[in-house]
Amino acid sequence: MQAVESDPRALRVLLVEDDDGDALLVEELFSDANLAVDLSRARSLEDAAEMLEVDCVLLDLGLPDAAGIGALERILASPRTPAVVVLTGMAESAAGLRAVAAGAQDYLVKGDVSPELLARAVRYAIQRRHAEIQERDLYRAQLRASETSRLERALLPTPLVADGALEVLVGYRAGRDGLLGGDFYDVVERSDGSVAAIVGDVAGHGPDEAALGATLRTAWRTSVLAGLPAEKVLDVTEQILAAERGRPEIFATAVMVVLQPDRRSLDLFLCGHPAPFLLGTPTVPLPSDLRGRALGIPVLGGWRSQRVELGDRWRIVLFTDGVLETTIDGGSGRLGEEGLMEVMAQQVVAEAADVPRAARRPLVDRILEAVRARHGGDLVDDTALVVLGWGGTA
């Protein structure tokens, strides 16, 4: 049933009406309205349920399988709700007002409708519905941005370091969908002058993982500030993970370093996580002889520290595996450790060649941009980086 020949610009309208006479009247009104309309018809709500991929529904409130506001509510419950204009009888104008209050965009009284009025009601109803959808999407975007901002403050804190001679750079990039994941970092100077830093990654990606990552980061900082030994800090963080995770299979990897007060060495803890790199030309990984299990994995064994001598002048970078697993060469390979070390070494060389310009773009940003360029676009996984340096650039 069509009022005009099929036209790609035509408005798609579904008439839900069981009375043949009323249906014919609507068709004639559209024909006289000089409005391009693809008109289809359903005789019941059951039939209409399979035909809602339209711009507007003209809904009779007296149908064989539904009547009154209940009929409208069933249409509005559809996952894709089009604009709805309710059709009422002459004595049912109050029902039309109730329908608009319940979610319909407009109502028309049968027997008191002209072609111009019908066309205008349909066009305006569609415009109002589009405005409602845009307003809803904007609200959701604002809510998402607000939630992301709160998570960012918890996941991505300002390093708590008083030693101005120690270089501390941090960076984070959300994945391609813009949502925060479970990657987190923190850097805290302890009362004895040592500096503890962590980069961690909760398995999975999404708001639940981000919330858990924020909780673990807070637990870690609290434990460090409380003066707990480094091994105990990891124990407490794991206890919080076990208590707060939504499923028992959730785990987190982490790397923690504790810089000694003289800044010439550090203690390295690897919890199922890639080892940090010592930046330079070449860039090389720190020793990883004493690898421990990931947090939350129910196997025996804890974490032992490995003392790493650094010397007088050094830079190290801690990172999550989002950069390692980045695909390159059109998706045919992964960047991996060798590729990431090459990228970092190139950035160290570029910085040394143009120190003033590099100072305007922090090293962590340039590393992330270089990885993004090798990938050919935004990274799929979220990524966190922490750079610590002493004695000037490498």
**Residue 180: band (very low, low, confident or very high) from pLDDT cuts 50, 70, 90:** low
With contact defined as beta carbons under 8 Å apart, do 374 and 328 qualify? yes
Least confident range from 197-201, 209-213, 283-287, 379-383: namely 379-383
Tokens of 302: 């804890």
The Cα 281–Cα 347 span in angstroms is 10
Task: Answer whether 0.75 is exceeded by the pTM.
Answer: no
Tell me the mean pLDDT in the region 365-371. 90
The per-residue pLDDT for range 11-61, each reduced to its tens digit, is 999 999 988 989 999 989 988 888 889 999 999 888 888 888 899 999 988
Q: For the chain, how many residues are written?
A: 394
pLDDT at position 344, please?
Answer: 94
Residues 6+ apart with CB under 8 A from 305: 230, 231, 258, 267, 268, 269, 290
- Rounded to whole angstroms, what are the CA distances from 312 to 184, 260, 264, 281, 389? 29, 12, 6, 17, 10
Question: Domain-by-domain residue ranges, the chain?
Answer: 11-136, 156-390
CATH pick for 11-136 out of 3.40.50.2300, 3.40.50.460, 1.10.1030.10, 3.40.50.300:
3.40.50.2300
Residue type at 353 in one-letter notation: A
Question: Element (H or E) spanning 30, and its range?
Answer: helix 20-32
pLDDT at position 310, please?
Answer: 95
The count of other CB atoms within 10 Å of the CB of residue 178 is: 11
Residues 6+ apart with CB under 8 A from 384: 156, 170, 171, 172, 183, 184, 185, 199, 201, 319, 320, 322
Cα 278 to the chain's mean position, in Å? 32
Please give the DSSP secondary-structure letter assigned to residue 295.
B
Q: Among the ranges 59-73, 139-153, 220-234, 326-340, which has the highest mean pLDDT value?
A: 220-234
Three-state secondary-structure class, residue 21: helix
Three-state secondary-structure class, residue 184: strand
Identify the CATH class of 156-390: alpha beta
**Residue 2: band (very low, low, confident or very high) from pLDDT cuts 50, 70, 90:** very low
pLDDT at position 14, please?
Answer: 93
More confident residue, 96 or 342: 342
Question: What is the percent of the chain with per-residue pLDDT over 90, rounded to a whole number?
Answer: 44
Question: Element (H or E) spanning 199, and its range?
Answer: strand 195-202
Q: What is the strand order of the sheet 106-109 is part of? A: 37-42, 11-16, 56-60, 83-88, 106-109
Q: Among the ranges 128-132, 141-145, 314-318, which has the highest mean pLDDT value?
A: 314-318
pLDDT at position 4, please?
Answer: 42
Is residue 69's pLDDT more than 50?
yes
Q: DSSP for 46-60? A: HHHTT---SSEEEEE
The mean pLDDT value of the chain amounts to: 86
With contact defined as beta carbons under 8 Å apart, do 322 and 379 qualify? yes
The Cα 392–Cα 394 span in angstroms is 7
With contact defined as beta carbons under 8 Å apart, do 310 and 263 qualify? yes
The per-residue pLDDT for range 300-309, each reduced to its tens digit, is 778 999 999 9
Is residue 359's pLDDT more than 60?
no
With contact defined as beta carbons under 8 Å apart, do 102 and 76 qualify? yes
Question: String of b and e for 184-210 (b: at least 16 CB within 10 Å)?
Answer: bbbbbbbeeebbbbbbbbbbbbeeebb
Backbone angles phi, psi at 144, to 5 degrees: -65, -40
